[in-house]
Structure 1
Amino acid sequence: MATDHLAPTTEHRTAEGRVAAADRGSTVIADRVVAKIAAQAAREALDGVPAAGGTPHAMVTVHQDSARVRISLELDYPSDIGRQCGAVRRRVAERVETLAGMDVPDVAVLVERLHSAHTRGATLGRLA
């Protein structure tokens, strides 16, 4: 979980010497919230079009103001796997830093499956 602690300084105190309400307490962001941000960011990096197998899933470990992210996804084949994984890593790190205010030192991308036009057609045929 992430926490945001501010040490009250003189500029954070009211005229009566109390700490201003906006400067008290802490902010905690649950791992599952950061995981949702990461999964959405991975979808965005893949142009919002998931492979035939499904949408990206994220597992996150948060420690203080740092998040380690693991993204599992499926990609279309043939494609530039390295480029897509790099785009996912960059987008996930950027969105988690922006939306959750956390440092993201590690984004691991696990490609679980590749889907070719042939397997997409077979999957669609079974669904019809």
Structure 2
Amino acid sequence: MSDDPGTPAPRAVPPRVPPAERGATRIADRVVAKIAAQAAREALDVLPGQAPHAAVTVHHDIARVRVSLELAYPSDLATQCADIRRRVTLRVEECAGMTVPEVDIDIERLYPAQLRPASAGRNRRLR
């Protein structure tokens, strides 16, 4: 330390507050639903029909998700649903820090597989 009167005195550093005492972060159910719907879109790549939508119920950092969507047929519906469940679970856990014990899938409509655009894997568009 110098005795120079022009030098400011060092500031006192406030004590650090433990994380549990800082407050809480709450992520709205509709935000988690948007994450889930986007994850379902990612798992399916490009869809010619309606985009998937999701409904979520959150209780104590546990999210129960229901995704409604349309799928191509004939195709392996069980594999597609498993891919969607995996992707939705991963993205909600990554982005929202919530546990996802279940992802229910409602297939609202089946459309002919021929309707899927030939460039489905190349030109992905987010809505």
Give TM-score, length-normalised by structure 1.
0.73
The worse-fitting range, judged by mean Cα deviation, of 71-80 and 22-31 is 22-31
Counterpart position of 2:10: none
How far apart, CA to CA, are the structure 1 residues paired with 2:31 and 2:97?
A: 12
The share of aligned pairs that are identical, in percent, is: 64
The structure with the largest helix share of the pair is 1
Cα 1:45–1:31 change in 2 (3 A) is same
Amino acid at match of 1:105: P
1:56 aligns with 2:43: no
Counterpart position of 1:105: 101
Q: How many equivalent pairs are there?
A: 104
Give the 4+ runs in structure 1 shifted more than 2 A: 15-18, 20-23
Matches within 5 A, 1:33-112: 33-47=31-45, 49-50=46-47, 52-112=48-108
Amino acid at match of 1:24: R
Deviation at 1:23, TM superposition (A): 5.7
Q: Which runs of 5+ in 1 are unaligned?
A: 1-14, 121-128
Counterpart position of 2:24: 26
Cα 1:112–1:21 change in 2 (3 A) is closer
Q: Which runs of 5+ in 2 are unaligned?
A: 1-12, 116-127
Residue aligned with 2:74, SS: coil
Residue aligned with 1:27, SS: coil
Cα 1:87–1:21 change in 2 (3 A) is closer
Give TM-score, length-normalised by structure 2.
0.74
Counterpart position of 2:120: none
Residues 34-70 of structure 1, C-alpha deviations (whole Å, 9 max, x = no match) = 00000000001012x11x3210010000001100000
